Amino acid sequence: MADGPLIVQSDRTVLLEVAHPDAESARHELAIFAELERAPEHIHTYRITRLGLWNARAAGHDAEDMLSTLDRWSRFPVPPSVSIDIRETVGRYGRLVIERDDVDGFGENVLVLRSTDAPVLAEMARNKRIQPLLIGHPSPGTYVVDAWARGHIKQELLKIGWPAEDRAGYTPGTPHAIELDETDWTLRPYQRKAVDIFTEGGSGVVVLPCGAGKTLVGAAAMADTKTTTLILVTNTVSARQWRDELLKRTSLTADEIGEYSGQVKEVKPVTIATYQILTAKRRGEYAHLALLDALDWGLIVYDEVHLLPAPVFKLTADLQARRRLGLTATLVREDGREGDVFSLIGPKRFDAPWKEIEAQGFISPAACYEVRVDLPASERLEYAASADDERYRLAATAPAKIDVVRSLVARHDGERILVIGQYLDQIDVLAEALNAPKITGATPVDEREELYQAFRVGEISVLVVSKVANFSIDLPEASVAIQVSGSFGSRQEEAQRLGRLLRPKTSGHTASFYTLIARDTVDQDFAQNRQRFLAEQGYSYTILDADRITAQAA
């Protein structure tokens, strides 16, 4: 019997003993194809899922690689049923292939679905949701797919457990010269590797920590493809940050980059549009759908792809002939639509673990703390008497948290501090208590940019922000985040908020990430789910008592 850190169970769960000396090495390899489900102090539970296996296969890992990981680190023999299941599940990827070919009676370069596995092809062709997408069966092993249905058939095939490998190629788009300007910088090795793997695969998702240079990966992909590019981003501030980075890092000029948002409607060879404008409706119709065909785009970049609004999936289903690059810090989606990202944007092509990039010195180290706050007796009684849908708000916005925030700000005097809240009335109270400016969704874009810039250069040391600051905001000198309330148990939000701190600091400060929790409430329950993301990346929480922090400050 080996003494490894893993125990593989027949239900496809894998237990990881956190204190084992080989735990970190095993976790790093296991995370390639398994998803963390629970992360208490001593034993972490992973689950091997079909989508995880297919993403790993698309990224170049075969079944033998995955089984080798389990065999190498497992304390007991891997159950035969798990080994068989992994081989068979991984073997499903690519048994169906989408290609282009000349077909008699249908024309040249038509879309076809092929397989050498006749029973699989027959099962697929009988499916009621797939049948309408097929317009011919010219030969054994081949079906002709309706030209518009490339994305839709991939979605439906994934649902029935047969993910198709898409080899149908991409339109080159209108050529447009783009070069990287590496005069005073150069792509990091992992960025170059991510771009090369994406370019070879044609479409897919690159997963990198916030602060690890996802925008530069996008710029390098544009330089490799040299084509007109549509970049979709979360908000206008993000659009302008993309524009500034492209002007700084590439040969593109201001005349070549357009902004398409609620404020400006420009279509240029490189156009940066917000998700909001693409999903805006007028009289029940998408008012700006023409943007998707305004130019012959050769590349579409989806920034923060884990936040892609549901309507954009439907629009993306019609864009399968164009190269698609998704950029994100985490593939976790709170709506469970990871499968749609896989089938419509593309599989995960590259995933760099956060702690690995930290070890290379490219992102700042971070210490994570959970600060537990006791509610006064009167608030505990109010909480106990409240309906379930009110309890989280009461716990998350507990007034007792305000003094703790003051104490933490004092503890980190001289550092750049973000105080983050979910509720607008709480943000108002925090801003007044700290005598600090605030940014919410109601703050005009120009004012937001002014406040962010003042924070960057040190004119402001404390900034109170709502969830608008979760996404694509470049604040490299932020070294402290105090999360007072969040979106229930959102792991993707945890990734974004920690990510605000990970850009390397000229100050040399280690990042400190605090989450304030009302003890013995649903606030604490939701925090455990959010922390799963940190455990996935190799971070751990230190539990602090709020009373001790306020006593130290006094």
Q: pLDDT, tens digit, for every residue of 409-424?
A: 999 998 889 898 888 8
Confidence label for 99 from pLDDT (cuts 50, 70 and 90) = very high
What the block records as the tokens of 411 is 């503890």
Backbone angles phi, psi at 2, to 5 degrees: -75, 170
According to the model, what pLDDT value does residue 378 have?
Answer: 87
Q: Residue 482's closest CA among 344, 371, 345? A: 371
Question: Rounded mean pLDDT of 221-237?
Answer: 93
- The answer to which of 6-10, 401-405, 503-507 has the lowest mean pLDDT is 503-507
What the block records as the tokens of 244 is 């500034």
- Whether the per-residue pLDDT at 154 is higher than 90: the answer is yes
Amino acid at 375: L
Per cent of the chain over pLDDT 90 is 45
3-class secondary structure, 285: strand
- Whether the per-residue pLDDT at 181 is higher than 80: the answer is yes
| Residue range 308-348, pLDDT digits in tens | 777 787 788 888 889 999 998 777 666 677 888 888 898 88
Confidence label for 150 from pLDDT (cuts 50, 70 and 90) = very high
According to the model, what pLDDT value does residue 474 have?
Answer: 65
Confidence label for 441 from pLDDT (cuts 50, 70 and 90) = confident
Cα–Cα distances in angstroms (integers) from residue 454 to residues 131, 158, 272, 462, 478, in the given order: 58, 48, 25, 10, 12
Q: Which residue has the higher pLDDT, 388 or 156?
A: 156
Question: Rounded mean pLDDT of 443-455?
Answer: 87
Asked if residue 13 lies in contact with residue 44, where contact means CB atoms within 8 angstroms, the answer is: no
According to the model, what pLDDT value does residue 496 have?
Answer: 65
Per cent of the chain over pLDDT 70 is 90
Asked if residue 6 lies in contact with residue 74, where contact means CB atoms within 8 angstroms, the answer is: yes
| Residue range 532-542, pLDDT digits in tens | 666 666 666 78
| Residue range 231-263, pLDDT digits in tens | 999 888 889 889 999 999 999 999 999 999 888
According to the model, what pLDDT value does residue 508 have?
Answer: 64
Question: Rounded mean pLDDT of 258-282?
Answer: 89
- Whether the per-residue pLDDT at 494 is higher than 80: the answer is no
Asked if residue 504 lies in contact with residue 361, where contact means CB atoms within 8 angstroms, the answer is: yes
Question: Rounded mean pLDDT of 426-441?
Answer: 91
Q: In DSSP terms, which residues pair with 269 in a beta bridge?
A: none
What the block records as the tokens of 291 is 């943007």
- The answer to which of 185-194, 241-250, 373-382 has the lowest mean pLDDT is 373-382
The DSSP string of 204-233 is EEEE--TTS-HHHHHHHHHHHH-B-EEEEE
Confidence label for 9 from pLDDT (cuts 50, 70 and 90) = very high
- Of 18-32, 196-210, 245-259, 313-327, where does the model show the most confidence? 245-259
Rounded CA separation 471/232 (Å): 13
Q: Is 497 exposed, middle or buried (0-12, 13-18, 19+ CB in 10 A)?
A: buried
The DSSP string of 338-404 is HHHIIIII--EEEE--HHHHHHTTSS--EEEEEEEEPPPHHHHHHHHHS-HHHHHHHHHT-THHHHH
